[in-house]
A = this chain, B = another copy of it.
Amino acid sequence: MEKSETFLRGLPFFSELDDAVATPMLKAGLERSHARGENIFLQNDAASRMFIVLSGWVKLFRQTPDGDEAVLALLSAGDMFGEAAIFGAAGYPFSATAAEDAKVFEIPGDTLRTLAKQNHDVMARVMDSMSRELRNLQMQNEHLALMSAPQRVGCLLLQFSAGLTGAGGGFTLPYDKSLAAARLGMKPETFSRALSQLKSVGVSVDGADVKIASFANLVDYCCAHCSALPGECPGSRSEHGEGTKHCDRTATCPGRRVIKITEK
């Protein structure tokens, strides 16, 4: 068993499937490398395959007739994409390219459809993934509509630092700042300026290295404007103890969960 197969079997998608289904799916699949900037597929292409990122970064985006592009997601190891298009009617609703050198695992749509018909769990896993995507897009919409540029940047930084423990910490940005800017729906200049504005809440930046003095401070700055609960927020860290919680605003926001809506 090669190492990427081990990796794939460890993902929630496969680990909860019977070997009887998982094995043929992995057998039918194909590993492929893409250099930075290479296209994996284009918007409106016939949806023939589902993908799982093995390494690197993949950008999903839509491009308008006049050349602008909207970045829908940046995916890294373990993320799945294209599965909705396999089960929907039309082609891929977005283009995919390697944002950094990337390896992806491709599973033919036919295989997936056939197995899904045989085994209810496959369908369930795919739906699970789609409902996660829905949630992410809904959050992204909310962010675009309600949060300022520095707040969105702060939120992204918290997501990057989700694995860190302690009251503060540092990490290195995994991809270009201009890409991050596009991902957040802003221009590179705005991203740059937003970063410097975050200095006042304890964020210091040197090149691609970011240091956050206090996660709690940054959470205060960003998360009051976002409706995500700890569970749905990728920047969340509710699993850790004291002073290390992102977006766990049950504490900081008394009104949390008790959504008051004027009846009538």
A214 at the interface (CB under 8 A from B): no
Taking the complex as formed, is A31 at the interface, i.e. its CB lies under 8 A from any CB of chain B?
A: no
Are B264 and A93 in touch, CB under 8 angstroms? Answer: no
Is A46 on the interface with B (CB-CB < 8 A)?
Answer: no
Cα(A144)–Cα(B138), bound, Å: 12
Interface string of A134-156 (1 = CB under 8 A from B): 11011111101110000000000
- How many copies of this protein are present in the complex? 2
Complex Cα–Cα for A139 and B43 (A): 13
Smallest distance from the beta carbon of A211 to chain B beta carbons, Å?
A: 27
**A123 interface hit (Cβ, 8 Å):** yes
Taking a contact as CB atoms under 8 Å apart, the answer to whether A93 and B135 are in contact is yes
Q: How many residues of A contact B (CB 8 A)?
A: 67
Chain A residues numbered 213-264 whose CB sits less than 8 Å from any CB in chain B: 223-227, 229, 231-232, 249, 253, 255-257, 259, 261-264
Write the nearest CB–CB distance from A136 to chain B, whole angstroms.
Answer: 9
CB <8 Å contact, B253 and A70:
no
**Bound-state Cα–Cα, A142 to B93, Å:** 12
| Most B-side CB within 10 Å, residue of A88, A97, A232, A253 | A88
Beta-carbon contacts under 8 Å, A29-47 to B? 35-39, 42-44
Given known pairs A44-B229, A229-B44, the reply for A140 and B142 (CB within 8 Å) is no
